[in-house]
Structure 1
């Protein structure tokens, strides 16, 4: 299953945007309002939970400065990646698009497609003011 957020324009350089998203503790400011738990576990790993959903641990798996950050599931039953692609517009602004990729059976994909789409859209939208 592959999902994409809308592309958002951030009023920061591509380097500043990359630096912000590279620091996992900053993801707390991007989370939706219905977050029930957020905890930094390591320099490159954090745990979060949304109300009514299981806890998810994300770990930074790959970085390609200053254009790409890949977070992946760290443990748990689901294997997926959350990828941030960062594009320079000019020296003071950049575009960010999030991609969610995972392999799920048809039933699971049906159940999580809506909530995951809304989740990555919220992360992207919150970047406009958080970064």
Structure 2
């Protein structure tokens, strides 16, 4: 299952956007209002939980400076990645969007498609004010 957020234009360079998103503690400011837990586990790993959902641990898996950051599930029953693509628009503007990619059975896909779509859209929308 692959889900993509809308692109947002940010008033920061690609380098500034990349640096902000490379620091996992900054993801707390992107989380939806219904977050019930957020904890930085180490420099490249954090745990979060939304009300009514299990805890999820995300870990930085890959970075390409100023272009891409890949976070992947660290442990747990679900294997997925969340990739942030960053495009430089000009010296003071960049564009970002998130892509969620995971392998799930059809029943699980049906159950999580709506909440995951809303989640990545919220993260992207919150980038406008947080980054």
Q: Secondary structure at the match of 2:84?
A: strand
Shift of 1:19: 0.1
User: Residue in 1 aligned with 2:94?
Assistant: 94
**TM-score scaled by length of structure 2:** 1.00
**2: CA distance between counterparts of 1:96 and 1:41?**
25
Render the CA deviation track for 1:52-72: whole Å, top value 9, x for unaligned.
000000000000001000000
RMSD: 0.3
Q: Which runs of 4+ in 1 moved over 4 A?
A: none
Gaps of 5+ in 1: none
User: Residue in 1 aligned with 2:85?
Assistant: 85
**TM-score scaled by length of structure 1:** 1.00
Render the CA deviation track for 1:55-106: whole Å, top value 9, x for unaligned.
0000000000010000000000000000000000000010001000000000
User: Residue in 2 aligned with 1:46?
Assistant: 46
Gaps of 5+ in 2: none
**1: CA distance between counterparts of 2:53 and 2:60?**
21
Q: Secondary structure at the match of 1:76?
A: coil
How many pairs are equivalent? Answer: 131
